[in-house]
Chains A and B, each alone.
Chain A
Amino acid sequence: MTTSVSPSEINRAMAAIRITPESVIREANDVPRKIWHGISALANFSEEELAIATTPKQEIYRDDMMRLYRYLPTVEHDLGIPVLIVYALVGRYQMIDLEQDRSFVRKLLDAGLTVYMVDWGLPTRAQRWTSIDDYVSGYLDDCVDVVRTHEGVDTINLLGICQGGVFSTCYAALFSDKLRTLTLAITPLDFHGDAHCPQPGTAYMNLWARGLTGEDIDRYIAAHGNVAGDSLGLSFLMMDPVANVDKYTVDLVSILDDDRKLLNFLHMERWLADRPSTPGEVARQWLKDLYQDNKLVKNELVLGGRTVDLRNITMPVLNVYAEGDVVVPNSTTRGVGPRLGTSDYTELGVPGGHIGTFVGGKAQRILGPGIIDWLKARNGAQQ
């Protein structure tokens, strides 16, 4: 890579800059105005306005720190399509119900679906030895059984997001008779996909995890017990440090005079600040078995003595990916259809990044209708 810049390149670059004294003065006046407006707005937002995940729900089952919620219907017509949503451990489930006007959960409810949600809670030191199998064959299987009982059905629709998608994939392979469909969103499946198809600027976690040895990971878990939520938060920040500096400076200043955007910003901050710890044993398995050894797509992952064989996934599968995802690159998500046992495999791409899938305006216009139509078609409901 050369670092020298030719005079002609500099001239061309300078030609693009048309900053006049007037525009500088205009902005110099504009920025303080926005800041004063923002200070006032920040002080005046009510707790109700700042609240996230406000869609009404009822707790119907609990075990340890885990809770299972059933959202209250928003429409009269019930399509009889029960959907159990499984979010990741590394963030709270509120992400998919962050904004009232862009809530993924509300979209499903408004379409007449019956929505259940697993809240993994906030693991403490007591969950140090809780394994992926405890989550999949324990908590998740119990939740699926409770939903089946509540709905009086033998099979339900499982929707897993990110890490929750991996748990859901494992579950579908081990308990295929309990599922009608499987929907995965922004879910890493082929953890070495980035190595075969590099996408610059993505897959930091994959690179770091593969560079460490198994012993490094064992020692890390021994040293820290659980992986603290703030450590995870820092890892995510360091994936794109400049963008994060931008976010709290240039980006923030530009939205300070827009109450709606400022409120969205605060909702996201509230969600980010509530990052749970990951149980040490889960983190150890996640990093070694998946990131390092890529056992899931090799059908070598063993949970509770049973091998997770993707060929057992015979129900219809919808795989949603974010086109600009840097956390879970497309190369680790897409193209897994031939590895599954189902002949009904669909991929759906949405614009934006990892989290943008569930909060971005453009993504929401595709994601909600895309999943709802797909579920309706597989559950015998009219489009």
Chain B
Amino acid sequence: MLITSADRVLQFAEGYLPKFGRTEANSLQTGVDRVFGAFADALGLTATRAMFDNLRALAEAEFEWQLALAGYLGVAGSAVGDAPRLAVARLGEVSKKGETIDSPLALARIWTSALAQAMHSAMQSDGGVAATERLVRVTTERQLRLANLVALAADSVGMTTRRDLDEAYREIQLLKREMRSLRRDRATKAAPTKRKQPSANGSTTGTREHA
């Protein structure tokens, strides 16, 4: 039932919501590109065109994200529908034991614990796991496209991009590993049992000294 409900929400979102006329927009964009692309580049609009493309891609990713979120919330919503049955079952167990619920807060706890159980079942169902995975994928895609857009803007005004920084950090990390390896080789050759000695104040430092 849970999966069916989630699927229905997803199908509704996929099938009936407008999709910005993506196919038509893409065809038009391709046509304009083919006719005016070279001319626009000659006028120095390469970066602007690339940014426009990325902006469009970002809008598409945003829309995909909305759909994925709707699917995810659909699964969560289906759990709410299943919770009353579980709450009734729990109250039945209480009654069977001869116990009673005499406080509104205690009743609220019964309800939330039933809802939690329903939510666990829904999110661990095949539909729940698939909705979560899809949300992760489209969130990633949206983030990548946003990063591309920002990188293009930064590049166009000569600013360092995140990729430039990442490459620099990668080099630094590789150098650190080499330094560690050399330090250990040297220590092993000098005295196999020698260890790092603490300084007079009891503090020692590693390859990068901050103390």
A19 in contact with B116 (CB, 8 Å): no
Determine the distance from Cα of A135 to Cα of B108 in the docked complex, in whole angstroms.
Answer: 46
Please report the C-alpha to C-alpha distance between residue A217 and residue B99 in the assembled complex, in whole angstroms: 50
Contact A9 B89 (CB under 8 A): yes
Tell whether, in the assembled complex, residue A211 and residue B107 are in contact, meaning their CB atoms are under 8 Å apart.
no
> Given the known A-B contacts A145-B195, A200-B124, are A250 and B140 also in contact in the complex, defined by CB atoms under 8 Å?
no
Known contacts: A16-B101, A145-B195. The answer to whether A63 contacts B140 by CB under 8 A is no
Which label, helix, strand, loop or mixed, suits the secondary structure of the A interface?
A: helix
Knowing A149-B196, A211-B130, A242-B116, the reply to whether A3 touches B166 (Cβ < 8 A) is no
Cross-chain contact A223 with B102 (CB below 8 angstroms)? no
Q: B32 near A: Cβ within 8 Å?
A: no
Interface membership of A236, Cβ < 8 A: no
B84 pairs with A62, CB closer than 8 A: no
Q: Taking the nearest CB of chain B, how far is it from the CB of A303, in angstroms?
A: 12
Is A5 in contact with B112, judged by CB distance below 8 angstroms?
Answer: no
Q: CB-nearest residue of chain A relative to B168?
A: A126
A230 CB within 8 Å of chain B? no
* Whole-angstrom CA separation of A145 from B95 in the bound complex: 61
Chain B residue numbers with a CB within 8 Å of A29 are none
- Provide the bound-state CA to CA distance between A245 and B137, in Å: 26
Picked from B82, B100, B123, B207, the residue with its CB within 8 Å of the CB of A3 is: B82
Give the segment of A86-94, A201-209, A350-358 that binds chain B. A201-209
- Checking A13, A66, A222 against B91 with a beta-carbon cut-off of 8 angstroms, the contacting residue is A13
The yes or no answer to A129 lying at the interface (CB within 8 A) is yes
Q: Which residue of B lies closest to A219 (CB)?
A: B140
Shortest CB-to-CB span from B115 to chain A, Å, is: 5
Q: Which residue of chain B is the closest to A128 with respect to CB atoms?
A: B169
Query: Which of B8-16, B33-41, B172-180 makes up part of the contact surface?
Result: B172-180
| 8 Å CB contact of B173 from A16, A134, A222 | A134
Cβ contact within 8 Å between A211 and B85: no
Query: Is the CB–CB distance between B102 and A19 below 8 Å?
Result: yes
Q: How far is the CB of A286 from chain B (nearest CB, A)?
A: 15
Closest to A6 in B: B88
- Given A23-B104, A149-B198: A242 in contact with B206 (beta carbons within 8 A): no
The answer to whether residues A19 and B107 also contact, given A125-B165, A142-B206, A223-B143 and a CB cut-off of 8 A, is yes
Give chain A residues whose Cβ lies under 8 Å from the Cβ of B85. Answer: 3-5
How long is the Cα–Cα vector from A36 to B176 in the complex, in angstroms? 56
Within B84-119, the residues touching A (CB, 8 Å) are 84-85, 87-89, 91-92, 94-96, 99-105, 107-109, 112, 115-117, 119
CB-CB < 8 A to B147: which residues of A?
223
How far is A42 from B95 in the complex, measured between Cα atoms in Å?
A: 39
Q: Digit string of B1-22 for contact with A (CB within 8 Å is 1, else 0)?
A: 1100000000000000000000
A62 and B91 contact, CB distance less than 8 A: no
Question: Is A15 within 8 A of B206, CB to CB?
Answer: no
Q: Known contacts A145-B196, A212-B136, A250-B112; decide if A63 and B91 are in contact (CB<8 Å).
A: no
Beta-carbon contact of A201 and B103 below 8 Å: no
The answer, yes or no, to whether A379 is at the interface (CB within 8 Å) is no
Residues of B within 8 A of A224 (CB): 140, 143
Q: Which residue of B lies closest to A137 (CB)?
A: B180
- The number of residue pairs between A and B whose CB atoms lie closer than 8 Å in the complex comes to 176
How distant is the Cα of A211 from the Cα of B134 in the complex, in angstroms? 10
B189 at interface by CB-CB < 8 Å? no
When each residue 208-227 of chain A gets 1 if its CB lies under 8 Å from chain B and 0 otherwise, what string results? 10011000100110111100
Q: Are A17 and B208 in contact (CB under 8 A)?
A: no
Q: A211-B130, A219-B140, A223-B140 are in contact. Are A201 and B206 (CB under 8 A)?
A: no
Instruction: State how many angstroms separate the Cβ of B168 from the closest Cβ of chain A.
Output: 9
Q: Map CB proximity to A onto B52-70 as digits: 1 under 8 Å, 0 otherwise.
A: 0000000000000000000
**In whole Å, how far is A139's beta carbon from the nearest beta carbon of chain B?**
8
Q: Mark A314-344, 1 if CB is under 8 A from B, else 0.
A: 0000000000000000000000000000000
| Shortest Cβ gap from B83 to chain A (Å) | 9
> Closest chain A residue to B133 by CB distance?
A211
Residues of chain B contacted by A23 (CB below 8 angstroms): 102-104
Q: Are B116 and A240 in contact (CB under 8 A)?
A: yes
> Could you tell me if A16 and B116 are in contact, using CB atoms closer than 8 angstroms?
no
Is the Cβ of B94 less than 8 Å from the Cβ of A220? no
A14-B198 Cα distance, complex, nearest whole Å: 70
Assess whether A207 is in contact with B129, with CB atoms less than 8 Å apart: yes
Chain B residue numbers with a CB within 8 Å of A138 are 177, 180
- Within the complex, which residue of A125, A211, A242 is in contact with B112, where a contact is CB–CB below 8 Å? A242
Residues of B within 8 A of A80 (CB): none
What are 18 A-B pairs with beta-carbon distances under 8 A?
A13-B88, A16-B95, A18-B100, A19-B103, A60-B198, A60-B202, A61-B203, A62-B203, A63-B206, A127-B169, A128-B173, A129-B173, A139-B206, A208-B133, A211-B130, A219-B144, A246-B112, A250-B108
- A-B pairs, top 9 by smallest CB distance, nearest first, are A63-B206, A13-B91, A242-B116, A16-B95, A129-B173, A223-B143, A18-B100, A16-B94, A201-B120
